[in-house]
Chains A and B, each alone.
Chain A
């Protein structure tokens, strides 16, 4: 029988059973490891985890080593949602037939993908698995760039960010397009639980992770994962950069239940200007040139509009 683990404070979290080994190859300051470790620490249930190809995968399973002290599978760049969904299907079949070694052991199925593999190449696999209603949680570690291949733009890269394939230059301000609203798209699938979380707000993060694991059916979570290498900030500032993201409302924290019931889960006491968040990262440095002032203005307008939209949806319950 699965029970929700009690985590009252940071000490409870830090003394949890560590199933994600510290010996991995992720960059110092990478938020991926924080999010993955806390997901694995927020439950005592057995975990089957799948990962898409990406930073997390290449840094945690280089033969003959593994950082995963739990069942783990990686197939390709795009199909972690399918591999976990089908492992869950096999679990159901074997449970019915009585061929499981430990049929009463509580088990949760979790998939991790980066934004490249979630917003772009693996979107179809994710959409299909959610539509079919498998019992799993998909967590997108959203660092808004193809970091593993050296910083190319993805469907999650925000307006004006400079990447190697949408570089700021003499006549360009970087990426011309907006970030895709993947949380909205996943909610529109009618998934029972969809949420956006950030590792700086750890209580909110744990609560959402535990809700996700306790929810029957497909769950999608988008987790902001600050990338010291591609966002270009000092590795010690991962959490403070994430504070700027949540407090400027660039990355609002909310959840959507059954596709309609939207709850904003964090309202900053003092909302800071978007430019404070952008200015702290090298990927947006060029936006502060006089000729790009209109992009900074556009950014603030977009964030304001997004916040207003979320509030309207929260109120309207649609």
Chain B
């Protein structure tokens, strides 16, 4: 039996340690992991808690991230609570197994500490890995700070393990900016946290010998399509359960989460749509610009990246005149993923807002307050004139001549 840990009402944790504490409080049975910067702290934390008797489980330090996720799949199929963490190249190496985990409907929690993908090799944060996971059939939750990383990991277990969801869940946080920055966090007590997450309830487990199960069967053109459609339905339907878990969490903590977070959007003319820590900077900048320059600026942030909150995005942005979609991933010959998804939601609602796609922050390049101010100013100009002043896709804070595409 694991010993309980006394926690202060307010603690100073970085994002990795916050996630590790959530794994401990959920009393994860098996962590199967491989070290990679900047996510290593999550599983190091779990390992240390195990060594000190604060969690009772099995810690399998495997020989690659592919094996880490393979281990999560095998352990989850054996009917217990499972989690791991990774970043970047590790995430890419896991990619094959991510699809197998979701296809087998195994509620694994993966803490993704976002980092750029090589080449060139880069250990800093961007959202390349998060985007790589977007068709993998996982629920993707996005934390903007350490508190949220803690909260969302606890909630991830509860969402994914519901028998009417049964899907793996990624909890994203930005590499270094969140993962390595110590911040104030208000944790739950061990008892409160465990009571919230609840006991793991096995379903179709390999270790129930009274009812043998076959995991990972083959389906060809006769059944594959139905399986994948059912998986998509589970993801879309999980929206209701995600909302329910958010509501339950608010009841015990007072901390309110929505599938799309919005700030100062009631009367906003212009809005930035962003993920990760950029949301926090954009909030601060929007407030300043409202005071200093009278720009009616707002911020919209998908808390749940998958299932994509199509309807909520459409509603939240219904009345704005200009939108800046911020993509922190190399767009690879297209418009940014967030731009594409947000514009499709806006289009379906008949919005005529001018939407600009800002590519920024690749490989950890800072997005400064001044750069965000310039973006808001440009959006405001677009909103007032009714036409876009620059091109649709623009690269922010890039050396050399301005890089922009599409009209």
Chain A residues in contact with chain B, CB under 8 A? Answer: 46, 48, 50, 57-58, 61-64, 66, 68-76, 78-79, 82-87, 89-94, 96-97, 99-102, 105, 107, 124-125, 127-128, 131-132
Contacts and interface: CB of A to CB of B under 8 A. Distances in A.
A63 B72 contact: no
Interface in B251-282: none
Contacts of B79: 90, 94, 99
Contact of B70 (A62, A83, A89): A83
Given A58-B218, A69-B212, A107-B209, A124 B63 contact: yes
Given A75-B97, A124-B67, A127-B63, A89 B75 contact: yes
Interface stretch (B54-62, B134-142, B156-164, B240-248): B54-62
A57 B218 contact: yes
A75 B73 contact: yes
Contacts of B214: 61, 66, 68, 72-73
B100 A86 contact: no
9 tightest A-B CB contacts, nearest first: A83-B74, A128-B63, A74-B216, A90-B78, A86-B74, A79-B70, A86-B71, A73-B215, A82-B70
23 contacts: A46-B209, A62-B220, A70-B209, A71-B207, A71-B209, A72-B214, A75-B73, A76-B70, A79-B70, A86-B73, A86-B75, A86-B78, A87-B77, A89-B75, A90-B74, A90-B75, A90-B76, A90-B78, A93-B58, A99-B199, A101-B210, A102-B210, A128-B64
Interface string B75-117: 1111110100000000000001100100010000000000000
B70 to A, nearest CB: 4
B216 A63 contact: no
B217 A61 contact: yes
A312 B32 CA distance: 41
A48 B30 contact: no
Contacts of B148: none
Interface in B127-178: none
> In this complex, which of A46, A70, A97 has the most chain B Cβ atoms within 10 angstroms of its Cβ?
A97
A311 B56 CA distance: 47
A89 B60 contact: yes
A83 B74 CA distance: 4
A57 B218 CA distance: 8
Contacts of A79: 66-67, 70, 97
B71 A83 contact: yes
B223 interface: yes
A71 B74 contact: no
A172 B223 CA distance: 43
Given A93-B29, A125-B67, A71 B60 contact: no
B27 to A, nearest CB: 8
A96 B29 CA distance: 10
